[in-house]
Amino acid sequence: MSGLRTVSASSGNGKSYDSIMKILLIGDSGVGKSCLLVRFVEDKFNPSFITTIGIDFKIKTVDINGKKVKLQLWDTAGQERFRTITTAYYRGAMGIILVYDVTDERTFTNIKQWFKTVNEHATDEAQLLLVGNKSDMDTRVVTVDQGEALAKELGIPFIESSAKNDDNVNEIFFTLAKLIQEKIDSNKLVGVGNGKEGNISINSGSGNSSKSNCC
Amino acid sequence: MSLRSFFNTSHSNHDKDAIAGKDFDAYFQSLIGSNSEKAEEQKGKAISKLLKEKNVRLLRCMGLGPLGFVSNSLRKDCWYELLASQLYIDGSAEYIPPVDKHKDEGQVILDAERSFGGISNKNLKLQLKALLVELITGILRKYPTLNYYQGYHDIVSVFIICFSSNVVEDNALEWKTLSLRDQIDMERLFYCVESFTLLYLRDFMMDSLDFSFEQLRLISSLIKESNLKFYNVFKFDENEPLFAIGSILTIFAHNLKPINSGDTNLHKILFQIFDMTISLQSMHIPLIIYKNLLLQNAPEILKHIEANSDVFENDFDLRHGAIQTVLQEKLCDESLWEEVLQITRDHSTSASKKVLKRVHLNKYSTLLNTAYGKPRSFDMDTIIFYLNEQTKMNERYKKEKYRGVTTKSKTRALFKRLGHFLPSKYNKLGKISLLIGILAILYQLQTTRSLSLLLSLRYMISTKLKELSHMHMNLHDVNHIWMDPIKDILKLGHQNR
């Protein structure tokens, strides 16, 4: 069962995009998830950026291989107690960005726990991406090699970024969107409209996208 | 109780008082007249007089009315008088064995680091952050059974700004050498944060969000009572209002705190919300305000849902997206806020018993005792008892989640789920008839098949429905899960023939 879904809007229904991708940012508190998102969507950086409580949502339309893709970006609270809320939003996520802080080893160690949570709650087809943020900082404790090794171990791609210096921020979202698009293309999902509600195509026999609900 | 009836009660009890002797409407009209500065001045004088008299009853009326307690210099004293009247804390007493370090202090530092974004003076900002950490860790170490949550720091920041605004707003001060702590009444500030935490925020400070979810569900129940059409179209019965968590856990401080130095008017609204909450001694207020915010924007929210129904993966996301998109813009609209606060004042300021009955609240919830909306004084023994009982209850909830429910409640839960998870398109009659159908099948199996078959059937259905009880499930997408048990029943019956 798959939770991946694309929306084709090329049939003159007035939509300004070709497809939609639901993407989630997860990781420990303070690693810079919201800063990455704000840098990407609004091209701003504020070091005293406000804490995310529960979940926040932003939208940005990007061009991927000539197609207009609407990225639906969900930013989650990092504190453990909000996990029960944030996992409710994993459903149908096509891309999940696991973020750690290169200056804080604990956040790097916890990535394995986040990976486990993703496996428990997200769909099998969700494309994951590991991000080591705050690469501009002199106080780095997690090396690039360590980041790459972990990504290899988890079998997911890896990018180091700095929301502050705007290093590799766009790359995170474009890389992920392209990988999702490739996945969709290989699964032949694009443009398979079911004729309902503006050509929505849900490639799931039952619409049940969460592993925890698989029978 | 509406503000009007509240005032009238106060009026009859204090008929000799100069302010209470005036007619309610005329009095408040004079305060909110065309010249806001004049109104502020008049109300400020009245509040000063009441503070001198320690007239808590009429101070509460002032806090509820337009402009709230007017200015932070008056507000800090009003909050102190009100909170001190609601809870007596002996500063020298030790109510729970304190700890040297609380487990959540790391998170406090992380969140404090991101606070006071609206303050441009670096040295002042550093001192404010340090004070925030000091206050929160002070509370957590004194009451180690409390758990810190992200958002609590926003609430404590409101108290800090209130107590320090007279010096913070003075640009002539040199914060490199000046100590902020020396400029404010630390003892009173700590007392206010301490009593507000214990009386109003216990539900949020357990080891899980279970009791916070209970409060959020009350929003749905309030909407059902006020606007059934919106409730049905929005499908509040299927979508828990998790989108409200940031606003409720912070009493709107997360939405209205000044991020930039120019956001002072929204800040005034935030202080008025706190004025109302403390004056009424009610955590119903943030929930009612949220309900009113939604209802004021209901047409736009529904329009947004309709326009974006193909943009989101499921109903739950669609509804969150619509609320966030509409409210994000609206929450900056001062006139909308004024309107919402006035609606809140003009109508019932507590959830009715009918509304409360529809939602499961833990027995010791702040919504039922210490912040129920009725003026009442509490002693620390009672508060510690509530706190301990809630902590135990929360632990039990957590253990039950792991262990599953007991055999007896399993069966009860099974039938409850059967009713609850039937697709909403069926009406009550349809649900009942389907339940009767299931019961008939079970009865048939019980009389004609072995007991083990019956038990395995119950286990099978129970397991499937437990999967469904995963919160926020969009029921429209999972009708098949309801069908699966029936198919399985038929298969099972077939195999046994």
Q: Select the more confidently predicted residue: B444 or B369.
A: B369
pLDDT at res. B449:
55
Is residue B208 scored above 70 in pLDDT?
yes
Query: Does the distance separating the beta carbons of A55 and B242 come in below 8 Å?
Result: yes
B241 touches B327 (CB < 8 A): no
Min distance B384 CA to chain A CA atoms (Å): 23
Is residue B1 scored above 50 in pLDDT?
no
B257-299 pLDDT, tens digit each? 866 555 567 889 999 999 999 999 999 999 999 999 999 999 9
b/e string for B93-130 if b means 16 or more Cβ within 10 A? eeeeeeeeebebeebbbbbbbbbbbbbebeebbebbbe
pLDDT at res. B377:
97
Q: List the pLDDT tens digit at each of the 215 positions of chain A.
A: 344 444 444 334 456 788 899 999 999 999 999 999 999 999 998 876 678 999 999 999 999 988 999 999 999 999 999 998 999 999 999 999 999 999 999 999 999 999 999 999 999 899 999 999 999 999 999 999 999 999 999 999 999 999 999 999 999 999 999 999 999 888 754 433 333 332 222 223 333 333 333 32
Domain range list for chain B: 3-70, 87-415, 420-495
ipTM exceeds 0.85: no
CB distance from B107 to chain A under 8 Å?
yes
Give bridge partners of residue B9 from the DSSP assignment: none
Query: Does the distance separating the beta carbons of A56 and B478 come in below 8 Å?
Result: no
Query: Which residue, among B62, B66, B32, has the nearest Cα to B48 in the 3D structure?
Result: B62
pLDDT-based confidence at residue B471 (cuts at 50, 70, 90): very low
Give the burial class of B285: count Cβ atoms within 10 A of its Cβ; 0-12 exposed, 13-18 middle, 19 or more buried: buried
Sequence-separated contacts (24+) of B227-233 with Cβ below 8 Å: B227/B295, B227/B298, B230/B294, B230/B295, B230/B298, B230/B302, B233/B302
Percent of all residues in chain B with a pLDDT value above 70, rounded to a whole number: 73
pLDDT-based confidence at residue B473 (cuts at 50, 70, 90): very low
Chain mean pLDDT for chain B? 82
pLDDT-based confidence at residue B91 (cuts at 50, 70, 90): confident
Contacts of B250 in chain A (CB under 8 A): 53
pLDDT-based confidence at residue B118 (cuts at 50, 70, 90): confident
A27 touches A98 (CB < 8 A): yes
Distance, in Å, from the CA atom of A205 to the CA atom of A214, rounded to the nearest integer, reads: 12
pLDDT at res. B174:
85
- For chain A, which domains are there? 19-187 (3.40.50.300)
B138-151 pLDDT, tens digit each? 999 999 999 999 99
pLDDT at res. B410:
56
Assign B99 to helix, strand or coil: coil
Structure tokens at B341: 């606060």
b/e string for A37-57 if b means 16 or more Cβ within 10 A? bbbbeeeebbeebbbbbbbbb
Give bridge partners of residue A60 from the DSSP assignment: A71
Sequence-separated contacts (24+) of B394-401 with Cβ below 8 Å: B394/B206, B394/B207, B394/B208, B394/B210, B394/B211, B394/B362, B395/B207, B397/B208, B397/B210, B398/B207, B398/B208, B398/B210
Percent of all residues in chain B with a pLDDT value above 90, rounded to a whole number: 57
pLDDT at res. B460:
55
pLDDT-based confidence at residue B353 (cuts at 50, 70, 90): confident
What is the CB neighbour count within 10 angstroms for residue B494? 8
B426-447 pLDDT, tens digit each? 455 555 666 666 676 666 666 6
Query: Does the distance separating the beta carbons of B250 and A48 come in below 8 Å?
Result: no
Query: What does chain A come to in residues?
Result: 215
pLDDT-based confidence at residue B411 (cuts at 50, 70, 90): low
Min distance B58 CA to chain A CA atoms (Å): 36
pLDDT at res. B171:
73
Using CB atoms and an 8 Å cut-off, which of residues 462-481 of chain B contact chain A?
Answer: 464, 467-468, 470-473, 477-478, 480-481
CB distance from B13 to chain A under 8 Å?
no
pLDDT at res. B5:
54
Query: Does the distance separating the beta carbons of A213 and B314 come in below 8 Å?
Result: no
Is residue B389 scored above 60 in pLDDT?
yes
Strands (E), B29-88: 87-88
B389 touches B364 (CB < 8 A): yes
Element (H, E) at B280: helix B264-280
Query: Which residue, among B197, B255, B187, B152, has the nearest Cα to B380 in the 3D structure?
Result: B197
pLDDT at res. B269:
94
Contacts of A72 in chain B (CB under 8 A): 311-313, 317, 321
b/e string for B48-86 if b means 16 or more Cβ within 10 A? eebbeeebbbbbbbbbbbbbbbbbbebbbbbbbbbbbbb
Is residue B322 scored above 80 in pLDDT?
yes
Distance, in Å, from the CA atom of A128 to the CA atom of B491, rounded to the nearest integer, reads: 39
Residues in Cβ contact with B377 at an 8 Å cutoff, skipping those fewer than 6 apart: B85, B86, B87, B88
